[in-house]
Amino acid sequence: MDVTSPHHYVPPRSTIMHQIEPDHTLAFARLDALAIYRRLVAHFGLLCGPEAASPWWPIISANPQLEMVIGAVLVQQTRWEMVEDAIARLHAAGLIDLAELAQADAEHLATLIYPCAFYRQKAQGLIALAQAIQQRYGDLAAMFRLPTTVLRAELLQLPRIGPETADVVMLYAGQHPVFVVDAYTRRIFARLVPDRLSWERASYMQVQQVIAAGLPADPLLMADFHAQLNELAVRYCLVRPRCDGPPSRRVYSRQPGRNSFLDRHDGCPLRSICAWYRASRG
């Protein structure tokens, strides 16, 4: 997802990539989120920002902030392949526009976003969300100028916005430094450092705080880390893991060059620091 602006600080590749532990070991009782992130970048390459070969979150409209907000709502319990198609139909219909979306017909909108899960509820929610943004802030730019803690509290009061969606919106559309937690995050860290936290049972905020404590408050790095974890979960750390490869060849974006790393055959880049992998191999 390319969420950078020309004025946003972008850490150079050398800064991100330096100091990967040469002996490929990591104490399982210790969570070194930054070291994990660097290993992922070494495998997948940067996925967000101007140095990314192909932006992880492809944008097709002239209104990237609203497109990301819509995408964050549509992807709830829905595969991204369906969301990408729905976004294209909304764009063709001229509905990636706050004023147009606020006055859209709910039935027509529902047909455009079908077969996303709960498409009728999401259509009504997107209209209500656009109306609320217009009434409270005027536009998205004004909303995203709010301080992070205030913005999060405000977002959680809006239709179709829960903690994960709020953080996705803040991070990718608003460039606020928050770490996004999803089911992939919990699965990956439960395998990497199972003794650090009860990852599946812990609250959203507990998981977020434990991981974010080891990261700089840099929205670009956090956006890229979330993208890296998603790629890992889709390619290697599946419900049935592919630790030794090859990666899953699921194509969930039509973006050219998006899956250039699929020809790699060296397995999951986190195997050597994964408690689950070591235990499963005896």
pTM value is 0.88
Contact 204, 164 (CB under 8 A): yes
Q: Are 96 and 67 in contact (CB under 8 A)?
A: yes
Are 20 and 65 in contact by the 8 Å Cβ rule? The answer is no
Q: What are the C-alpha distances in Å from 140 to residues 45, 143, 151, 223?
A: 31, 5, 11, 19
**Domains annotated on the chain, with CATH:** 13-56+180-280 (1.10.1670.10), 64-145 (1.10.340.30)
Strands (E), 15-174: none
Q: Is residue 17 a contact partner of residue 43, using CB atoms and an 8 Å limit?
A: no
- pLDDT tens, per residue, the chain with 282 residues: 333 333 333 344 434 444 334 334 443 345 899 999 999 999 999 999 889 887 889 899 999 999 999 999 999 999 999 999 999 999 999 999 999 999 999 999 999 999 999 999 999 999 999 999 999 999 999 999 999 999 999 999 999 999 999 999 999 999 999 999 999 999 999 999 999 999 999 999 999 999 999 999 999 999 999 999 999 999 999 999 999 988 888 777 777 666 656 677 789 999 999 999 999 987
The C-alpha angle 164, 245, 18, rounded to 5 degrees, equals 65
User: Which tokens in the block code for residue 215?
Assistant: 């990261």
Whose CA is closest to 175, among 205, 151, 154, 159? 151
Amino acid at 66: L
Identify which of 108, 94, 84 has the alpha carbon closest to the alpha carbon of residue 63: 94
